[in-house]
Structure 1
Amino acid sequence: MSLLVTEWTPSVAAAVEQIASDCQTVDGVNPLDEAAQLRLRHHGLSGSRLWLHENGFALLHEGDVVLAVSYWKRGEGIGSLLAAEAVEGGATSAWSHADHIAARKIAERLGFERTRELWVMRWPLTPFAEPAPAAPEGVTVRSFRLGDEAELLRVNAAAFAAHPEQGAMDAANLAERMAEPWFSPEGLFLAVEDGDGAEQVLGFHWTKVHSATTGEVYVVGIDPSAQGRGIGKLLTRVGLDHLASVVSDEVILYVESDNLAARAVYEGLGFTHESYDTHVHYTK
């Protein structure tokens, strides 16, 4: 039996974290993405609903549900039960952070359609065939400094205006991410240009180091007004060169499967994608 939980207590947090860890052990990915983890850590269940089973959970936020079942209890109907309760509670979309057959079957049964694919692409630190591009005249690439927050948020909002998860980042969200143990200002690169006596940010490449072996192209955002000047390619190479100097095995990134232009850029840099590295979004 599952239970609708109303308070994010230490025992509830421990139960959810254990189930998520069980899933990651087998699936290779945490069913709770970074946004969900930050939201729970800083805001608990404010604005969310949680159905908790001894071996699974369904977390609903703004109509989007994440479903997880411990791997040794799969196939016993727990996922279907949790999904049905979440739909009754208002779920209209769902993420499967691995392309599970079971998730497909539950989605079809509840009338959800596969509407979006997010690819994980990987680069095994192979040498680049070409040298890094030079910065355009008047443009400098440097690391983040205190005081850059407002310009960073401005560019992020403009660059990701059509991207609901990233484009909505505000000062509080930014502060939460920068408070994470992995954050390093040296790994957040800004392309800046002097304008009317003040620096203007044209774009940024935020890198993330997961471990000694793995890094990530976390976010690359370019101000639409600076498109076509080679800023994206420049920042991407600067960030990749940095990651290659601090991790030993690979760099990953996330890209929408239908973003053909971005995929072409990353493939040209040596990134590849395998079918199992696909996150699927279902919509009712």
Structure 2
Amino acid sequence: MPEPTPALPAGYQGRPATADDVPTIHRLVAECERALHGQAQTDPGGIAADFNRPGLVPESDTLLVHDGVGRLAARAWVNRRSEVDVHPVHRGRGLGAALLDWAEARARRAGSEGIVQTVPDDDTHAVALLRSRGYAPLVTAWLLEFTMPDEPAAPELPEPPPGVTIRSFRAGDEHAAHRLVEDAFAAWQPRRMPYEEWARHTVDRPTFAPAMSPLAFADGQLVGAVMSLDLNDTGEGHLEQLAVRSDHRNRGVARLLLRHAFRAFHRQGRRTCTLWTHSDTGALTLYLRVGMTVRRSSTVFRKGLTAGA
């Protein structure tokens, strides 16, 4: 059954989201990003992938808030983690606090031991709200960028490791890439994504860019991969995932994949590539060494919901 709608400020109404709301939700999130960072990075495919998370029940796990004339003012969802977004013109009216209350109530009702939210560090009001509610920092995430103003200026690298070849992603590589990524991320990501969920975030996403997604092979086996998105609205390339098989790490495979992805995007007219990483991966040093710089950072906050947390 739907989670009871929280008490909202006068003039606002709440209801669960449906798949038809994805474009409107995307516009809301993009407006929030532009107000905070001057640029939107979220694409509709990312919103749709979150909406279709395994286990998420839209009727009980999502909430949209509209103003008196029917415009979307805020949204929230909760399913193992949570997101809350309030349109810039509707901030300061208590919507963020109301949606935070709703998300925590829903998480408790679902039996969750804790709730997690990621907030940009420069969104000082959101950070202060979470801290005031007992959320504590868990992980730091960084959005990195690599700029290519004139030519496909890529990091100076040695020749490919012996026996390693690189080619672009092709149809039929999907399941091997999924296994590689999930195996590589297992050290810091406790829950493995099933193929269908992973695909919605990568190869089935409308912005997936196979020609800019290099794969590394050794002895016919996939040992490294970059899954890239071509974010047309930003004019940038985005490396959604980078993974190298454990027995081929520290051999230059990751740097080689980065070089190929950068150059492929440059040939398509992109002059900037971005990539998210976080403190649990231990990969920040690698990206800084190849010439990437930190554009901005976010913090993953967690709050325990069980007695005594």
Name the TM tier (shorter chain): 0.7 to 0.9
Task: Summarize the alignment of residues 1-284 of structure 1 with structure 2, pairs less than 5 Å apart.
Answer: 1=8, 5-6=15-16, 8=18, 10=20, 12-13=21-22, 15-28=24-37, 29=40, 36-40=47-51, 46=57, 49-54=61-66, 55-62=73-80, 64-90=81-107, 92-97=115-120, 99-125=122-148, 128=153, 131-164=156-189, 168-176=192-200, 177-194=202-219, 199-211=220-232, 213-257=235-279, 259=281, 262-274=283-295, 277-284=296-303
Deviation at 1:30, TM superposition (A): 6.0
Deviation at 1:251, TM superposition (A): 1.3
When normalised by structure 1's length, the TM-score is 0.83
Stretches of structure 1 lacking an aligned partner (at least 5 in a row): none
CA separation in 1, counterparts of 2:142 and 2:299? 9
SS of structure 2 residue aligned to 1:111: coil
1:2-22 C-alpha deviation (Å, 9 max, x unpaired): 666446163x44553443233
**2:278 corresponds to which letter in structure 1?**
E
Aligned length: 274
**1:56 corresponds to which letter in structure 2?**
A
Deviation at 1:157, TM superposition (A): 1.7
Change (3 A) 1:46 1:133: farther
1:8-52 C-alpha deviation (Å, 9 max, x unpaired): 163x44553443233133123468996553132687953761232
Change (3 A) 1:174 1:17: closer
Stretches of structure 2 lacking an aligned partner (at least 5 in a row): 1-7, 67-72, 108-113, 304-309
CA separation in 2, counterparts of 1:140 and 1:251? 23
Change (3 A) 1:164 1:33: farther
Q: Is the 8 A contact 2:74 2:95 kept in 1?
A: yes
Change (3 A) 1:131 1:110: closer
RMSD over aligned CA atoms reads 3.0
SS of structure 2 residue aligned to 1:204: strand
1:202-236 C-alpha deviation (Å, 9 max, x unpaired): 11122222128311222210000212322112112
When normalised by structure 2's length, the TM-score is 0.77
Percent identity between the aligned chains? 22
Q: Is the 8 A contact 1:57 1:67 kept in 2?
A: yes
SS of structure 1 residue aligned to 2:294: coil
Change (3 A) 1:113 1:210: same
Q: Is the 8 A contact 2:14 2:65 kept in 1?
A: no
